[in-house]
Amino acid sequence: MIPAMARTLLVNARIATMRAGRYSMIDDGAMVAEAGVVSWVGPRELAPTVKRGNDEVVDAKGALVTPGLIDCHTHLVYAGNRAREFEMRLSGATYEDIARAGGGILSTVQATRAASEQQLAREAGARLDAMIAEGVTTVEIKSGYGLDVESELKCLRVARGLARGRNVTITTTVLGAHAVPPEYKGRADEYVDLVCGTLIPRAAEGKLADAVDAFCEGIGFSPAQTRRVFDAARAHGLKIKLHADQLSNLNGAALAAEYGAVSADHLEHTDVAGVKRLKAAGTVAVLLPGAFYFLRETKLPPVVALRTEGVPMAIATDCNPGTSPSTSILTAMNMACTLFRLTPEEALAGVTTHAARALGLQDRGALEPGKRADFVIWDATEPAELAWTIAGRKPISVIPTPRG
């Protein structure tokens, strides 16, 4: 006889299921998971929770339970830090002073190129562990600080490898078109040739990437160059994401929508026409309040239009050394509320249901039958508490789906 598959029975829980992107609370709830997949969730008195021999019973003792959190936009793999540049700027140094002193993105590129895979894994692993400690069970990681083929592939390998020994799902994104590397200065089109002709094909062949992203901006890549990157992504069956309209409106949102991107990210300068294109394409708007805060931006993303049009809004840390040196998804939720005026419910949907969709993952993001049973027990009663506090909150426990 085949023994019955071990089940996890969650009892005595206030469950914010996040079904359909709403709290969808079950005040005195229970959940059954079989082989890491939710098979039943609902009020405790209706629960099919008669314990079988090898079932694991998790008693939440009346505490809040949410789906595992998802950080859908990070640049986690880099070496070194930019604290000196931060200090120089606050001591009155100009952008040129900082560049002359070896600061800026190119300092991160140099450090990342020089670092071994072990060193990168150690530094990025510490950041990842901080995220996991806050209840994150899925993280997207972009390359983009290597900016040559071997260094970019190295960063993607490191990102993939970070899942080993940790209960977390990592998805990876090629962001070769993040900046023009110094050796291609003034030859951006030739660098895009390299990204499209060599980097993306090799990342795809090596199964090192799930998606492709680009920085479409005056100081990044033009819409025409971004199209070439997207065409290469399509040719290799990779999902598409875009850093769009962060510092100016280059109609990046519309471009992302045209290519059926899973997400368009930043969007501070996106107009209503761009929002309507996102809606029509089913593209998720990923809001990144950490960068907005750190850069002291003033142009707000079009939250009211996104809400009115019904575009799903995700929130992420944008963890990166230059513009958002943060590993805290909970702080990003708070900032999305305080800076962008999202409701706490929208903020929680932004790091669960909608974040899953921003990665093209249909199997997670809500606690409902058929979805992965990654869940977090919080020292909280109301879900709004998660976005309300600024820092310091830690889950009571994180119960990820066991990895095979």
Please, which residue, 210 or 318, has the CB nearer to Zn ion? 318
- Residue 394 neighbours by CB under 8 Å, 6+ apart: 133, 134, 379
What is the DSSP-derived secondary structure letter of residue 19? Answer: G
- Residue 243: closest CA among 339, 330, 324, 349: 324
Would you say 32 or 250 has its CB closer to Zn ion?
250
Cβ proximity of 330 and 134 under 8 Å? yes
C-beta of 307: minimal distance to Zn ion in Å?
Answer: 23
Number of other CB atoms surrounding residue 97 within 10 Å: 14
Nearest to Zn ion of 249, 320 (CB atom): 320
Instruction: Pick between residue 10 and residue 175 the one whose CB is nearest to Zn ion.
Output: 175
For residue 141, the Cα-to-chain-centroid distance in whole angstroms is 7
Nearest approach, Cβ of residue 338 and Zn ion (Å): 20
The residue at minimum Cβ distance from Zn ion is 318
Summary count for the chain: helices (H), strands (E) = 16, 15
Contacts of 46 (CB under 8 A, 6+ apart): none
Q: How far is the CB of 18 from Zn ion (least distance, A)?
A: 24
Nearer to Zn ion, 134 or 318 (CB): 318
| CB 248, min distance to Zn ion, A | 16
Q: Contact positions toward Zn ion, by CB under 5 A?
A: 318
Minimum gap (Å) between residue 314 Cβ and Zn ion: 13
Work out how close the CB of 335 gets to Zn ion at its nearest, in angstroms, rounded to a whole number.
15
Q: Which of 72, 71, 142, 73 is nearest to 108 (CA)?
A: 142
Rank residues 152 and 318 by Cβ distance to Zn ion and give the closer one: 318
How many whole angstroms separate alpha carbon 187 and alpha carbon 183? 9
